[in-house]
Amino acid sequence: MELTGDQPSAVEKLVDGVLKGYRFQTLLGVTGSGKTFTMANIIARVNRPTLVVSPNKTLAAQLYREFKNFFPNNKVEFFISYYDYYQPEAYIPSKDLYIEKNADINEIIARMRLSTLKSVLTRRDVIVVASVSCIYASGDPNDFRNINLRLKVGDRIRMDEILKKLAKMQYERSEDLGKSGTFRVRGDVLEISPSYEEFVIRIEFFDDEIESIKAFDPVNRSVIEEYDKIIVYPAKEYITTEEKLERAIRSIEEELEERLRELRRQGKELEAQRLEQRTRQDLEMLSVLGY
């Protein structure tokens, strides 16, 4: 495909504006796929990591497919809300009824979101197509980048040390091969299913030495690629260091005690009990799960 009509001049002006550091520019006069094609040419010319924000999931999915076609060799990622269903927590005072938060997470979208985070941190040829939900934070990018597991063929490391590190990165032990965000051990073989990939990583040991690192298809067991070294990133978006988590828990406990004293001074014992119960439950989850 080639640019036609006013598209070449529009591309030139917009590229020039980006390179000059203009914060805002507007493309007028084209719609639908014509606008996507024009933007694709701008992205190709500028050659920078790109974020494309769509007003809704449906349009984001369409743009994602189109950019995948325009950039078959780039890392085109999809970043939208992973909730298929979400009911926020609520309280009905007249019935003294507390309704817990309930949600259904789409595992495929969750994997694509984590793949996006990994790509943004590790690649320059990334194009992220997102809905407006991307404005909400996904945790500290420095923590996601730094809390990882680096493995190299020939390294000597105890299996139990790797398992402890995986647990801190919110991976779970499971015998279900290929289940996202899990790992399993078979003798001297460790298999990890990264939350951001469709393949499984197999690490073979000889005693405490890493003998080989391979990626394989969990369905047909065929080897996809062999590595000399690999970095495994966290299983969840919301990951943080133990130090930050401990500080957060202490801060919440201090604020809770202050709020409880205030409620009891006002004679609101029922409200104080309810607040303490809910907060203690959340603190326990933070301590055990890390989120």
Q: Give the DSSP letter string of 20-73.
A: TT-S-----S--HHHHHHHHHHHHHHH-S-EEEEESSHHHHHHHHHHHHHH-TT
Task: Tell me the CA distances in angstroms from 114 to 94, 195, 197, one per residue in order.
Answer: 42, 7, 9
Q: Max alpha carbon distance in the chain (Å)?
A: 74
What local confidence, expressed as pLDDT, does residue 212 receive? 97
Nearest to 211 by CA among 164, 159, 277: 159
Domain boundaries, the chain: 6-135, 141-232, 242-289
Class of domain 6-135: alpha beta
pLDDT of residue 143: 92
- Average confidence (pLDDT) per 10 residues, the chain, 291 residues: 80 94 87 82 95 94 96 96 88 81 90 95 95 84 92 95 94 90 95 95 95 94 95 93 92 96 94 91 86 75
Give 229-245 pLDDT, tens digit per residue: 999 999 999 899 889 99
Three-state secondary-structure class, residue 164: helix
pLDDT at residue 31, as a whole number: 67
Contact 205, 211 (CB under 8 A): yes
**pLDDT (0 to 100) of residue 101:** 82
Give the dihedral sign, CA 103/108/114/119: negative
Q: Which fold has domain 141-232?
A: Penicillin-binding protein 1b fold (3.30.2060)
pLDDT at 30: 67
Place of tokens 């694709």: 40
Per-residue model confidence (pLDDT) at position 32: 65
